[in-house]
Amino acid sequence: MEDNKRKTAVVDENEIAKQRKFCEKVASVVSKRYGEKPLACVITYGCQQNVADSERIKGMLKEMGYGFTENRFEAKLIVFNTCAVREHAEDRVFGNIGTLKSYKQENRDVLIACCGCMMQQQHIADRIKQSFPFVDLVFGTHVVHRLPELLFNSLTRKKRVFEIPDMDGAIAEGVPVLRDNDRKAWLPIMYGCNNFCSYCIVPYVRGRERSREAADIIREARELIADGYKEITLLGQNVNSYGKDLAPKVTFAELLQRINELDGDFRIRFMTSHPKDCTKELIETMARCDKIAKHLHLPFQSGNDRVLKAMNRHYNRAKYLELINYAKELMGDDIAFTSDIIVGFPGETYEEFKDTLSLVDEVKFTSLFTFIFSPRKGTPAAEMPDPVSHEEKTKWFKELTDLQEKISAENMKKYDGRSFKCFVYGKGKLGDNYVASRTDGNLIIEFEGDESLIGTFQKIKVIEPLTYVLRGERERN
């Protein structure tokens, strides 16, 4: 019966097995060509989703016999994993690829590959084809798991390889992962986006929403905990719509609850939540589950209802505030909020922008990610009349960041005397005998303590708010 089947595609196991075989073939080619353990340099732009993809790219490269370097001029394989979300991100990538032209001329055996969200756009792939002839391999976001095969083709044929199928996307399980950090892990729970916010390129370059099976996510979480990971961040463009394509359906709140029940001392984070799908059930789950960080990243983009409608966001200011206030009601001072904001959406007036300022003033966010609108080719907003000058938008932007700076400074004073559960992540900067720790809301508290505390959770009381960090002391139980 149809109802028993998930609604989105999964990559066939045989395909994954075939890629494993290609790993062996590549390993044999590269060891003949370069000798023992040639180095690869993977350069990542963009959001955590891309960071997680790069960890899979590195996992596969490791199986193909590569070692790793941060220095691209030492590498036999250079991979750019790119982001398309704003023009500035794209310009940086083109600039960086461009600097490799003469290097490639002098080092013909070096291979240059480009992948990620930028490459999934045909006009960008065309530009690489024409203007960057020294790029050997270009592949889109839907074929990351086929890297072994694509790299094999690139190494053994005399032709450049472009593989950018336009598709909805599928879930690939069983791809090896090489993680960047041994305490903090990214755990993708879903891919793609169905929301088509009018300014955003992500749905075009990442395909439709598709969820990993809960059992696969829980297995990975369990392995991470067993390996000593202390912070697990669940990733998706809109985690609140997790599980809608699964059969039986699983809600995001249920998934959180199940991970919370796993044994071990760890903290669960998640991002990003879309306000239109954020439920009271989710907020209640956060309040109830002791391992879920009391941090809600809930991007509101604009505080004005007309602008929100033009952005195709499907919620209004009142609904957003209702969610925030419900979370405050259940978790009081314990909950930290962060958000994303776009300044100068096409047609936004200063009066409308003031609604964004007033919302920021009302909620008191811990921190904000603020962006000036950047037109993205192929999105509806890129075609909308945009009469306000960039100079004017820059002034509004400054007004917003000034306001948030004032609020952050006031927040710091409010933390004085309060206690937080913190994860100790490294050495401090306030003095030789200090270590640094993070609260659920990503505030940094430094305290005097031994380095043996690194990698543990501790209860820390704030004794002095400084400008960007808090000074605290360890509470004895």
- Contacting positions for ligand F3S (CB under 6 A): 46-47, 49-50, 83-85, 117, 201-202, 205-206
Please, which residues have CB within 8 angstroms of residue 30's CB and are 6 or more apart in sequence?
Answer: 38, 64, 65, 66, 76, 155
| Closest CB 118 distance from ligand F3S, rounded Å | 7
Residue nearest to ligand SAH (CB): 340
Residue 199 Cβ vs ligand SF4, minimum distance, rounded to whole Å: 7
Question: Which DSSP state fits 312?
Answer: T
Q: Which residue has the tokens 């003095």?
A: 431
Of 22 and 191, nearer to ligand SAH (C-beta) is 191
Sheet arrangement for strand 77-82? 67-68, 39-44, 77-82, 111-116, 137-139, 161-163
**CB of residue 468 vs ligand SF4: minimum separation in angstroms?**
28
Identify whether the C-beta of residue 446 lies closer than 8 Å to the C-beta of residue 467.
no
Q: How far apart are CA 273 and CA 296, in angstroms?
A: 8
CA distance 45 to 62: 21
How far, in whole angstroms, is CA 296 from its chain's centroid? 15
Distance in angstroms (rounded) separating the CA atoms of residues 338 and 295: 8
- Mask: binding to ligand SF4, 197-236, rule CB under 6 A, as x and -? x--x-xx---------------------------------
Q: Which residue has the tokens 């950018």?
A: 164
Residue 270, interface with ligand SAH (CB under 6 A)?
Answer: no
Residue whose structure tokens are 């694509």: 150
What's the one-letter identity of residue 231?
E
420 phi/psi in degrees, rounded to 5: -135, 145
Q: What does DSSP say about strands 267-271 and 111-116: parallel, antiparallel, or unpaired?
A: unpaired
Quick check: 237 binds ligand SF4 (CB under 6 A)? yes
* 46 binds, options ligand F3S, ligand SAH, ligand SF4, none, Cβ within 5 to 8 A by partner type: ligand F3S
Kindly state whether residue 420 participates in binding ligand SAH, applying the rule CB under 6 A.
no
Residues in 247-286 at the binding interface with ligand SF4, rule: CB under 6 A: 274
CA 100 to chain centre: 27
Based on CB atoms, which residue is closest to ligand SF4, 195 or 356?
195
Q: Is 82 in the site for ligand SAH (CB under 6 A)?
A: no
Prior bond to 272 cis, omega within 30? yes
φ/ψ region of 232 (left if φ > 0, alpha if ψ in -120 to 50, else beta) reads beta
| Residue 374 partner contact from ligand F3S, ligand SAH, ligand SF4, none using kind-dependent CB cut-offs of 5 to 8 Å | ligand SAH
Which of ligand SF4, ligand F3S, ligand SAH, none does 38 bind, CB closer than 5 to 8 A by kind? none
- Which residue number, 356 or 458, has a Cβ lying nearer to ligand SF4? 356
Contacts with ligand SF4 in 348-407 (CB under 6 A)?
A: none
Q: Is 86 in the site for ligand SAH (CB under 6 A)?
A: yes
Q: Which is nearer to ligand SAH, 143 or 190 (CB)?
A: 190
257 near ligand SAH (CB under 6 A): no
Place of tokens 């609108």: 373
Count of residues interacting with ligand SF4 (CB under 6 A): 10
Residues 168-197 that bind ligand SF4 (CB under 6 A): 193, 195-197
- Please tell me whether residue 171 adopts helix, strand or coil conformation: strand
Residues at the contact surface with ligand SF4, assessed by CB under 6 A: 193, 195-197, 200, 202-203, 237-238, 274
Q: Which residues bind ligand SAH (CB under 6 A)?
A: 85-86, 199-200, 202, 237-238, 272, 274, 299, 301, 340, 342, 371, 373-374, 376
